[in-house]
Structure 1
Amino acid sequence: MARLIVHGRAPYNAEPPLARLRAAFRTAAEDFYVRSHGDLPAIDAAAYRLRVAGGGAPLALSLDDLRARFPVVTVTATLQCAGNRRGDLRAVAPVTGDPWEAGAIGTADWTGVRLADVLRAAGAGEGGVNRDGSRDGSPDDRHVAFESRDTVHETGRPYGVSIPLAKALAPETVLAWAMNGAPLLPEHGFPLRAVVPGYAGVRSPKWLDAVTVQDRPSDNPIQAADYRLYPADVDPEGAAPALGLIIDGMPLNSAICEPARGAVLRPGPARLRGYAVCGDRPVARVDVSGDGGRSWVQARLEAGAPHAWTFWSADLDLPAGACELAVRAWDAAGQTQPASPEAVWNRKGYLNTAWHRVAVRVEA
């Protein structure tokens, strides 16, 4: 079995087979999905400096500076591409973007320092200074802009995004140099990346070059125009960005990892395994079906981590013939997923949260 399913070589974009993704709660770096917007930059770790502008004296921090000046922390967190499960939307009508199945997601232990500690050292705590020199006093009115060292193929500009300052100051948001106890691989952001749990992966930039506190979101095209959820009747090409919702926090979602689509099973007991995830909120329940959603069985949930996915498993008794397996998750507010991809279709193929359906054949 190929290690990753490659959707693009330049830029490189790939996801793991779902059985391998479900094999371990913490996804091995080699099995973690890769989302790139340009070529991988070559960075000398010894010469590397992160530039930070927070309103006080600007900082230029080496990796050794980060380790020595700030408490080192490890956060277990799931990252997910906003286009995860786009492939099911393509079956409804054409969409743009890579045809991700359900593998554009992964969980790891991210080791580094809290972004809040670095920002406060640069003068950007509560009551800090905006980019224009004014004092605000409310972190919710300001933003933290990231600029990376990779160049986006479509625009020729460095990759750049931003997050609200309130999220940047949250204790789970980190600047990470290690993944599962080892230095970041080049495709995962070596030597330093941001990890913003609960937000779409686009807001966790790799190969960080600069971090800036400012009074408005980043004007980089990735932030200002891309990664917006447009209504189904709006063509994003040439549309006003204001018509699309900015994709920050990720919604409730789930997927069946085993058995695979097209699998041939024996009649009788069958074990289903998969994941469920809900941004910054916990998953409360997962239901699975062996008949396309006409009847449901509650899955068993495995213990996880506050900012990570939930693994689940369930046993179904499958009769001979064609079977459509389905899964839906519920959050603590009693919210669940829509039944069909038609309900969430959009031209960019973002945020497919419809029931994940897997067709299998059961033969004696």
Structure 2
Amino acid sequence: MLHLFGKSDDLIVHGRAPFNAEPPLDRLRASFITPQALLYVRCHGDIPALDATHRVSVGGLAATPFDADAAELAARFAPHRVRSVMQCAGNRRADMRAVRPVSGDPWAAGAIGHAEWTGARLADVLRAAGCRDGDGLHVAFESRDVAETPDGPARFGVSIPLSKAMHPDVLVAWAMDGEPLTPEHGFPLRIVVPGYAGVRSPKWLGSITVQDRPSDAFQQAKDYKLFPPDMRPDTEDLSRGFTIDEMPVNSAICVPAPGAALAAGGVAVGGWAAASGRAVVRVDVSGDGGRNWTQAEIEEHDGSPWSWSFWRATLDLPAGEHELCVRAWDAAGQTQPALPDDTWNFKGYLSAAWHRVRVTAA
């Protein structure tokens, strides 16, 4: 834990037990590849104390189950690198919290990052285990951390459809940005599922199991579901929620900061935009709350379908108070709702309305 808390001054800490924190947005925007020290940290329990000898089992509906540590995986399987966003399903929850109460940490727009992940293709690992193929199968992951749930303490667990697990960019990862994973980011092994919410990329991996149903762990069976707006915690009905996997198109203003006092005239505005497996094709920025828009410049993209885009624009702001806002468009013509009211849900998931920042020019 010394490693983690030694870096906490760089992060906005929402909770220490479990530890949950995000970077300031100007620092997040400073690098297209997010350093490990600035990638948001989402924990559901204490960080387990694992070493390099920790082994992961691979089995279930598989003819030749096996177990291995990170070094053995790296020696047995060709390493694959993929650049991908990692984003919490609760990113920008604070915007929904401003509408009415929601559960969970009040993430701003920094529960996201973009890294180059290195590991074995999960598909290769599953084939080596003699994974059974077929529609309707799932790959379940159990981690070594223990989370508090309404049913009591239990190991963290989630699953993804086998069809997604076999995508060549889904990894059993041991490195981020060319460096071994740090403890807070899943050392020694984690799953990376590009395009899906961060919860489907579990850290501190303990087992991989092919099975005929989704995981029955709390996080998969009862949490991370999008519920309708009329539902409240005391009326929660799992049958009316759907499991969150892919993330909506989203964007945020990283500079200037909320409440900034600026010189009137040309003001530089910049931020990030992301979509699940689709390119961001346009970003619009407004200096007057969305009445008028300026098309932003999308900076050079690395070509990965899982990456984010950085954007920038210059707005001419006269003296006075201004509400800056941004919206992104993906290659399917999808864009963001105007207000967090439009997608409010009591868990505060998938907050993707126009990101708004109030500033003063003088």
User: Shorter-normalised TM-score: what interval?
Assistant: over 0.9
Structure 1 residues 158-307: aligned runs within 5 Å: 158-237=155-234, 239-302=236-299, 303-304=301-302, 305-307=304-306
Aligned to 1:77: 84
Structure 1 residues 1-364: aligned runs within 5 Å: 2-46=9-53, 48-53=54-59, 54-124=61-131, 128=132, 137-138=133-134, 140-154=135-149, 155-237=152-234, 239-302=236-299, 303-304=301-302, 305-363=304-362
Whichever residue aligns with residue 344 of structure 2, its letter is W
TM-score, length of structure 2 as denominator length: 0.95
Secondary structure of 2:27's aligned partner? helix
Equivalent-residue separation in structure 2 for 1:332 and 1:350 (angstroms): 23
Equivalent-residue separation in structure 1 for 2:123 and 2:65 (angstroms): 15
Secondary structure of 2:94's aligned partner? helix
Equivalent-residue separation in structure 1 for 2:16 and 2:194 (angstroms): 27
Secondary structure of 1:119's aligned partner? helix
Secondary structure of 1:78's aligned partner? strand
Moved more, 234-243 or 284-293: 234-243
Secondary structure of 1:83's aligned partner? coil
Contact 1:252 1:279 in 2 (8 A): yes
Following superposition, the deviation at residue 153 of structure 1 comes to: 2.1
Moved more, 8-17 or 331-340: 331-340
- Report the number of matched residues: 350
Whichever residue aligns with residue 36 of structure 2, its letter is A
Following superposition, the deviation at residue 49 of structure 1 comes to: 0.9
Following superposition, the deviation at residue 284 of structure 1 comes to: 1.1
Whichever residue aligns with residue 345 of structure 2, its letter is N
Equivalent-residue separation in structure 2 for 1:64 and 1:101 (angstroms): 37
Aligned to 1:131: none
Equivalent-residue separation in structure 1 for 2:48 and 2:231 (angstroms): 35
Equivalent-residue separation in structure 1 for 2:252 and 2:206 (angstroms): 35
The percent identity for this pair of structures is: 60
Contact 1:254 1:356 in 2 (8 A): yes
Following superposition, the deviation at residue 239 of structure 1 comes to: 2.3
Moved more, 191-200 or 331-340: 331-340
Whichever residue aligns with residue 56 of structure 1, its letter is A
Q: Relative to structure 1, is the Cα distance of residues 236 and 120 closer, same or farther in structure 2, using a 3 angstrom cutoff?
A: farther
Equivalent-residue separation in structure 1 for 2:48 and 2:69 (angstroms): 17
Contact 1:230 1:236 in 2 (8 A): no
Q: Relative to structure 1, is the Cα distance of residues 238 and 50 closer, same or farther in structure 2, using a 3 angstrom cutoff?
A: farther
TM-score, length of structure 1 as denominator length: 0.94
Secondary structure of 2:344's aligned partner? coil
After the TM superposition, list the runs of 4 or more consecutive aligned residues in structure 1 that deviate by more than 3 angstroms.
none
Q: Deviations over 1:12-46 (max 9, x none)?
A: 00000000000000111011100000000001212
Structure 1: where are the runs of 5+ without partners?
129-136
Equivalent-residue separation in structure 1 for 2:234 and 2:145 (angstroms): 24
Q: Deviations over 1:274-314 (max 9, x none)?
A: 00011121111100000000000111112133211111111
Contact 1:5 1:17 in 2 (8 A): yes
Following superposition, the deviation at residue 64 of structure 1 comes to: 2.0
Secondary structure of 2:75's aligned partner? helix
Q: Deviations over 1:87-126 (max 9, x none)?
A: 01111000000000000000111111100000000111xx
Whichever residue aligns with residue 47 of structure 2, its letter is L
Equivalent-residue separation in structure 1 for 2:342 and 2:86 (angstroms): 24
Whichever residue aligns with residue 353 of structure 1, its letter is A
